[in-house]
């Protein structure tokens, strides 16, 4: 336990009232220092985070188009309507496919890359930088480049595939393919981040574990399965949780890639946030859009809890008899 | 004896692996992956220097036959990219500064003092670290509208002023600073605030620089909030400006890629210079948490 300054018994065993009074005055001054110091942060926190979060939940029970001053309370009507809203259900499906597609594929690929690179210091430094270039590039230019790569008429991808005798494909124009194409782009963008995270984790695993395992005759896949994976679990957990949450909030690539005649058909890649944006800021159905935001919040919460629970369960089962 | 021999064996096997058939396959895959990472950028750069006829020529060429800068001239004329850059820089800069200040000071208080309600406040802040902005952006928009902050810099930067995660991150880092240093400073007559400025801040430079990279990048790549709050092209950030730009020139890929190069170039130059710091800033900030 770390000793905290203000927590120390003030004045020791002294019984002198003046001393203890001075000490408690000092204690009060310290409290004041802490509360005053935290005040700006707490105020910002309440105004910028807590209040909007509660307003989301509150708004979701109202029917409001932003123009009219009256806001009729409708209870759970917005939520009930969501269950019958085809576009919302489609967005939910697309977002789920997108999130699991990108997160799982990125994690698997980057884990393989990181394992290949770990222990090769020089090579690793070079590849980390190269694989990180898409990570530092913001989403809008990335989406623009990939939209051009996916172009059915003059795109680079169709050109490369033509060497293998594959006919030109409308990557963004076929509904299911469009979602897949955006997934591939997002894997490309996130690969380097995941890879570096896993490399950091791998570096922390002591060489001795592998040496001991080698003596016991375990190497290759076995040592990966029984040493690397369990010891990497905290980082895998962190990466999975954060990237799943990010993936469920995907908006920018969808927004960029659905614009224009060469873009993806809107509904094919419609995601939760995109649907919410349209309902809220194109049709001004603020209450309805807020209900969607609340659903999004719920999904994020459930996912976080599930992933933590899942990994914890794995942990105990692997340590069992 | 036996164990040292085996250890030598392991290391030998590891060295040899690079040149074995499996090792070569790994090398090829890594190199192909690296090429895949870079190729889109080369393709973007190449298209941006092509005259319209060459952009839609088949088969495409990587090196333009008649390179031209006309796309860049057109792009700069069509949209105030310099302005976008300044806006992004301002918004990201103010956001980063505010996050550094609030995170380091409250992180310091959470790490080094004990006061009633401390843990409850801290957990409340931490609980929102995972909550995505998208889930409360609608009330946030209405709030900004009520303040009359739509299409203003204040409105643009407001949601980016604090980062729950930053507070947690700074607290974790400051916890590892020994209390003895603080006690020694107190004996020398240092005030509590002086401890923050003279001891805590200098000793958490590494954490602060990691957090600033993380926060700056976060603010810079924000897209949906600027899209909601600004109608004024003079307030567009780089991300929004480029998004709107490609909206207008949907099929003129020469021009669009030129715009993209303009927006990406400063980032890649900064990355080329500070690559290690940036990689660590973005990844380690997450891991320490």
pLDDT digits (tens, 9 = 90+) for A248-268: 999 999 998 887 656 667 678
A219: nearest CA partner in chain B:
B10
What would the mean pLDDT of B199-227 be, rounded to a whole number? 94
CA distance A233 to chain B (A): 12
pLDDT digits (tens, 9 = 90+) for A69-112: 778 888 889 999 999 999 999 999 999 999 999 999 999 999 99
- Rounded-to-integer distance, Cα A123 and Cα B36, Å: 17
Tell me the sheet residues that pair with A62.
Answer: A73
Question: Which DSSP letter does residue B63 get?
Answer: S
Q: Is B164 on the interface with A (CB under 8 A)?
A: yes
Interchain CB distance below 8 Å, B114 and A6: yes
Do residues A56 and B135 touch, judged by C-beta distance below 8 A?
A: yes
Q: Is A52 on the interface with B (CB under 8 A)?
A: yes
Interchain CB distance below 8 Å, A139 and B239: yes
- For the cut 90, the answer to whether the pLDDT of residue A214 exceeds it is no
What was the pLDDT predicted at A74?
Answer: 87
A 68-97 residues with CB below 8 A of B? none
**Across the interface, which of B18, B102, B136 has its CB nearest the CB of A44?**
B102
If you average pLDDT over every residue of chain A, what do you get? 85
- Using a CB-CB cut-off of 8 Å, the residues of chain A touching B271 are 132-133, 136
The verdict on ipTM greater than 0.95 is no
Which three-class secondary structure state does DSSP give residue B180? helix
What would the mean pLDDT of B254-265 be, rounded to a whole number? 94
What would the mean pLDDT of B190-211 be, rounded to a whole number? 93
Interchain CB distance below 8 Å, A55 and B105: no
What was the pLDDT predicted at B47?
Answer: 94
Q: Is B284 on the interface with A (CB under 8 A)?
A: yes
- Under 8 Å CB pairs connecting chains A and B tally to 288
Q: Is B207 on the interface with A (CB under 8 A)?
A: no
N- to C-terminal Cα separation, chain A? 32
Do residues B274 and B154 touch, judged by C-beta distance below 8 A?
A: no
In terms of residues, how long is chain A? 321
- For the cut 50, the answer to whether the pLDDT of residue A3 exceeds it is no
A 111-150 residues with CB below 8 A of B? 113, 116-117, 119-120, 123, 127-142, 144-146, 148-149
If you average pLDDT over every residue of chain B, what do you get? 89
Q: What percent of chain B has pLDDT over 70?
A: 91
- Rounded-to-integer distance, Cα A11 and Cα A34, Å: 21
What was the pLDDT predicted at A184?
Answer: 96
Q: What percent of chain B has pLDDT over 90?
A: 75
What was the pLDDT predicted at A319?
Answer: 42
- Class in CATH terms, B76-288: mainly alpha
Domain range list for chain A: 5-59, 77-319
- Using a CB-CB cut-off of 8 Å, the residues of chain A touching B102 are 40-41, 44
Four-residue CA torsion sign, B136, B141, B143, B149? positive
pLDDT digits (tens, 9 = 90+) for B90-119: 999 999 999 999 999 999 999 999 999 999
**Across the interface, which of B114, B125, B243 has its CB nearest the CB of A140?**
B243
pLDDT digits (tens, 9 = 90+) for A100-121: 999 999 999 999 999 888 878 7
Q: Is A206 on the interface with B (CB under 8 A)?
A: no
* Residue bearing the bigger pLDDT, B181 or A315: B181
- Using a CB-CB cut-off of 8 Å, the residues of chain A touching B138 are 56, 59, 276, 280, 286, 289-290, 293
Residue A149's nearest CA partner among A253, A240, A73, A56 is A253
CA distance B212 to chain A (A): 14
- For the cut 70, the answer to whether the pLDDT of residue A4 exceeds it is no
Domain range list for chain B: 2-48, 76-288
SS3 letters for chain A? Answer: CCCCHHHCCCCCCCCCHHHHHHHHHHHHHHHHHHHHHHHHHHHHHHHHHHHHHHHHHHHCCECCCCCCCCCCECCCHHHHHHHHCHHHHHHHHHHHHHHHHHHHHHHHHHHHHHHHHCCCHHHHHHHHHHHHHHHHCCHHHHHHHHHHHCCCCCCHHHHHHHCCCCCCCCCCCCHHHHHHHHHHHHHHHHHHHHHHHHHHHHHHCCHHHHHHHHHCCCCCHHHHHHHHHHHHHHHHHHHHHHHHHHHHCCCHHHHHHCCCCCCCCHHHHCCHHHHHHHHHHCCCCHHHHHHHHHHHHHHHHHHHHHHHHHHHHHHHHHHCC
Q: Is A304 on the interface with B (CB under 8 A)?
A: yes
Residue B59's nearest CA partner among A261, A262, A158 is A158
CA distance A16 to chain B (A): 22
Binning chain B into helix, strand and coil, the percentages to the nearest 5 are: 80, 0, 20
A62 φ/ψ angles, rounded to the nearest 5 degrees? -120, 160
- For the cut 70, the answer to whether the pLDDT of residue A318 exceeds it is no
Residue A213's nearest CA partner among A197, A230, A235 is A230
- Using a CB-CB cut-off of 8 Å, the residues of chain A touching B219 are none
- Rounded-to-integer distance, Cα A6 and Cα A310, Å: 39
Interchain CB distance below 8 Å, B37 and A134: yes
B 80-109 residues with CB below 8 A of A? 102, 105-106, 109
Q: What would the two tokens of residue B20 be?
A: 């074995």
- Rounded-to-integer distance, Cα A134 and Cα A129, Å: 10
A 5-44 residues with CB below 8 A of B? 5-7, 30-31, 33-35, 37-38, 40-42, 44
Do residues A157 and A149 touch, judged by C-beta distance below 8 A?
A: yes
Q: Is A190 on the interface with B (CB under 8 A)?
A: no
pLDDT digits (tens, 9 = 90+) for A128-152: 999 999 999 999 999 999 999 998 8
- Rounded-to-integer distance, Cα B155 and Cα A69, Å: 23
Neighbours of A64 (CB within 10 A): 20
Tell me which of 1.20.1250.20, 3.40.50.880, 1.10.3720.10, 2.30.38.10 is the CATH number of domain A77-319. 1.10.3720.10
Residue A249 CA from chain centroid, whole number: 8
């Amino acid at each position: 336990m770390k000793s905290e300054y203000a927590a120390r018994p003030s004045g020791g065993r002294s019984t002198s009232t003046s001393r203890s009074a001075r000490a408690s005055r000092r204690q009060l001054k310290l409290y004041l220092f802490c509360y005053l110091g935290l005040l700006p942060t707490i105020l910002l926190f309440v105004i910028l985070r807590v209040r909007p979060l509660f307003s989301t939940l509150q708004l979701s029970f109202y029917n409001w188009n932003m123009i009219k001053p009256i806001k009729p309370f409708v209870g759970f009507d917005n939520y009930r309507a969501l269950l019958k809203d085809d576009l919302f259900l489609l967005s939910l499906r697309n977002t789920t496919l997108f999130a699991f597609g990108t997160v799982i594929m990125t994690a698997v690929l980057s884990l393989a890359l990181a394992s290949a690179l770990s222990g090769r210091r020089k090579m690793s430094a070079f590849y980390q930088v190269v694989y990180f270039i898409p990570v530092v590039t913001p989403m809008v230019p990335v989406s623009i480049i990939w939209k051009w790569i996916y172009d059915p008429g003059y795109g680079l991808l169709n050109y490369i595939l033509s060497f293998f005798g594959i006919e030109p494909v409308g990557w963004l124009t076929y509904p299911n393919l469009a979602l897949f194409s955006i997934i591939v782009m997002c894997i490309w963008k996130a690969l380097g981040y995941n890879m570096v995270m896993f490399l950091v984790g791998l570096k922390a695993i002591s060489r001795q574990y592998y040496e001991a395992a080698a003596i016991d005759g375990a190497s290759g896949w076995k040592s990966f399965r029984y040493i690397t994976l369990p010891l990497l679990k905290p980082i895998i957990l962190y990466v999975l949780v954060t990237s799943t949450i990010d993936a469920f909030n995907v908006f920018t690539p969808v927004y960029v890639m659905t614009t224009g005649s060469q873009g993806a058909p809107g509904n094919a890649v419609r995601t939760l946030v995109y649907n919410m944006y349209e309902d809220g800021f194109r049709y001004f159905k603020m209450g309805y859009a807020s209900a969607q935001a609340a659903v999004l919040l719920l999904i994020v919460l459930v996912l976080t809890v599930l992933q933590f629970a899942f990994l914890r369960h794995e942990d105990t089962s692997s340590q069992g008899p | 004896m036996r164990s040292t021999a085996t250890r030598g064996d392991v290391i030998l096997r590891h060295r040899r692996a690079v040149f074995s058939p499996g090792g070569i396959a790994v090398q090829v895959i890594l190199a192909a992956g690296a090429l895949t990472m870079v190729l889109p950028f080369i393709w973007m750069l190449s298209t941006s220097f092509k005259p319209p006829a060459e952009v839609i020529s088949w088969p495409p060429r990587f090196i333009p036959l008649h390179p031209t800068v006309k796309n860049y001239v057109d792009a700069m004329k069509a949209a105030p990219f310099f302005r976008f850059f300044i806006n992004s820089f301002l918004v990201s800069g103010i956001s980063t500064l505010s996050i550094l200040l609030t995170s380091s000071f409250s992180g310091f208080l959470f790490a080094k003092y004990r006061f009633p309600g401390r843990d409850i406040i801290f957990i409340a802040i931490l609980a929102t670290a995972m909550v995505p902005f998208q889930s409360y952006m609608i009330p946030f928009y209405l709030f900004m509208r009520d303040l009359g902050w739509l299409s203003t810099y204040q409105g643009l930067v407001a949601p980016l002023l604090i980062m729950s995660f930053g507070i947690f991150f700074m607290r974790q880092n400051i916890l590892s600073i020994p209390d003895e240093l603080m006690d020694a400073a107190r004996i020398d007559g240092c005030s509590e605030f002086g401890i923050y400025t003279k001891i805590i801040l200098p000793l958490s430079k590494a954490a602060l620089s990691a957090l600033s990279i993380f926060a700056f990048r976060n603010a810079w790549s924000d897209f949906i909030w600027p899209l909601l709050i600004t109608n004024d092209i003079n307030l567009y950030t780089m991300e929004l400006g480029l998004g709107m730009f490609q909206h207008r020139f949907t099929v003129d890929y020469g021009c669009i890629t030129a715009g993209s190069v303009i927006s990406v170039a400063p980032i890649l130059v900064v990355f080329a210079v500070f690559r290690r710091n940036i990689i660590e800033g973005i990844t380690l900030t997450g891991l320490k948490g």
